[in-house]
Amino acid sequence: MSVTTASSLARASAPFAIQAAFVVGLLIVWHLSISRGWIDTLFLASPVDTARALIPTTIAAEPHLAATFSSFAASLVIGVFAALIIGLLVNASGYVYTVFMPLLVLGVIIPKVTLLPLFILWFGIDKATIIVYGALSAFFPMVVNVSAASREVKPAHVTLARAMGYTKLQLYLKIVLPAMLPVLTSGLFYACNAALMGVFIVELVLARFGIGAFVRTLAITFRTPELYAAIILTSLITVIINMVLWSLARRFSQWRA
């Protein structure tokens, strides 16, 4: 191996080494703060206790995870499907876009958690509130991205396809959809995060079942190791979902060229 190659490998691995060192240092400080008695174990579980609780907590959380992800899947599908329809309708006319697009952007800015009491009043404390709130959380970031994706379609391509005799279905499948996909996948990434956060928030506040309710129960009963293990488990699942969506967004972004 040449000196240049070794130097290149060292530079490439330096960020990973720094990240690993940071995580190891954080774990050491975490362990010392417990073993030296700096922080009460009632509020902070040791890394060892958290690791021991991870498998039992995962087994206990399985039905709650199933309930959460069923609500999340329904919320994401409803929110994304509604955003696709409304986004395409808004972009069908320049006047409609000018009138309604600022309102849709306003829906992204307004903190939807302030509307949660209204959702409880309208839909009760059942699963419907979780799904509707999650769908609304996914809808607004997705509809803005659908509108932006529609702007990626080149009018010259549409005109050429019509001149070649494309039907309306062929036009959408071969011209419109491929042009929109890079931005749509980016929008799906944000909509997925928003829907998952919305579902978790409602479960944390009022649900009797689901990962949010499970975490709330662990917190109020001061089962600290299980609480930290549940948070780590939820974070790992969320990271995996985000990595899959981000890789899809990067893959489809190559189509822009």
Q: Where are the domains of the chain?
A: 47-256
C-alpha span between 80 and 139 (Å, rounded): 6
At 150-188, the pLDDT tens digits run 766 777 777 777 777 777 777 776 777 777 777 777 778
- CA 45 to each of CA 32, 48, 50, 57, 171: distance values in angstroms, whole numbers, following the listed order: 11, 8, 6, 14, 58
Residue range 47-256, CATH number: 1.10.3720.10
pLDDT of residue 74: 92
Task: Tell me: pLDDT of 205 over 70.
Answer: yes
pLDDT per position as a tens digit, 61-89: 888 888 888 889 999 999 989 988 888 78
Which pLDDT belongs to residue 75?
A: 92
Residue-wise pLDDT tens digits, 34-54: 777 777 777 777 788 888 888
